Structure 1
Amino acid sequence: MWNKFREYLRPQIWIKKEMPYTTRRVEIDETTFYLARASQNDITALLDIERSVYAGQTPWDRWAFTSELSKRKTSLYLVLCQGTEVVAFVGAWFSTNEAHITNIAVRPSYQKRGIGHFLVHEMVSLAHDYPSQKITLEVRASNTSAQAVYQRLGFTVVRTRPNYYIQEKEDAFSMCRILSQ
């Protein structure tokens, strides 16, 4: 994670305008949700979702989310809400040639409904429109269900990153999808 973050901080040519995103109603698995740009007010919900997904842990802390949500020209975080409850989120960094999905999580009670697939597909579409040449992400080597979702969306493993998840001493697969322009 930190290696990718250092790559992100390397000087690059950035698009100078804020990334636009309009809140919209979406249907997933015959359920109505609202998809919106995440705001600072959503951070508590994002941390709560992380705790529910990662056995009480929060891989990203409040500071990390605060920092990411303030970078409105180079990152976009989306929340999926049912009523007033945030049920899932996804975030990505955008540069002139690459989009990188940084984080995605779905509350356990909403998993296995196609929400993760929908959110990744949304980021792929946004990356294509940005326009990025490719979209990348890292996934735990043990997370075979997420890997299957990413593969169905056209991502392929490009390399293994040993001990990427430092605390757990777990490898990650770097995955990439080339976007046709």
Structure 2
Amino acid sequence: MGLFHKIKGCFLLSGVILILLSAADTALGQVSGVSVANDLTFGTVLGGVPKKIDKATPGSAAEFLVTGIAGSDVTIEFTLPTYMNDGTYNMQMIFDNTDCAMDSSASPDQTSPDYDDLDPWDVISYTIGSGGIAIWLGGKVVPKLLQDSGNYTADIVITVTFIAR
């Protein structure tokens, strides 16, 4: 991250998404925590070449962990960026309607989650399992052909809200 090289006229870019967390309405401790296990990381990106990170890609897809009382219902809402920025220049980002997955089993499996192809633009309702909830998010960056090199970042905000029964 942060190192850029010029090769044959193409700039190599790096993109990392910084994640901000919020746990709203944590009534009676039903949702005890939200943490980031992995940032959405695009690594080196070539100018003019879109790069997609699938939600099932360990180490590159964003991974969030929600903890709380098993059996509690929650809503999960993302505030997603449409651009990454290096302080001066923007790079377009796209999140498709199947870029999110979740698993609340005792042994969450990112490559075969029990709740897949979710739309991160919609509010998602889910039940906390014995091991909490693992959430994965992929996305795509679309650099311009002559995109300026830089360390591009953006914020993803995830809000987890307890639903009283």
Report the TM range for the smaller structure's normalisation. Answer: 0.3 to 0.5
**TM-score w.r.t. structure 2 length?**
0.32
| Structure 1 or 2: more strand by fraction | 2
Using CA pairs below 8 Å that are at least 6 residues apart, which structure has the higher relative contact order? 2
| Structure 1 or 2: more helix by fraction | 1
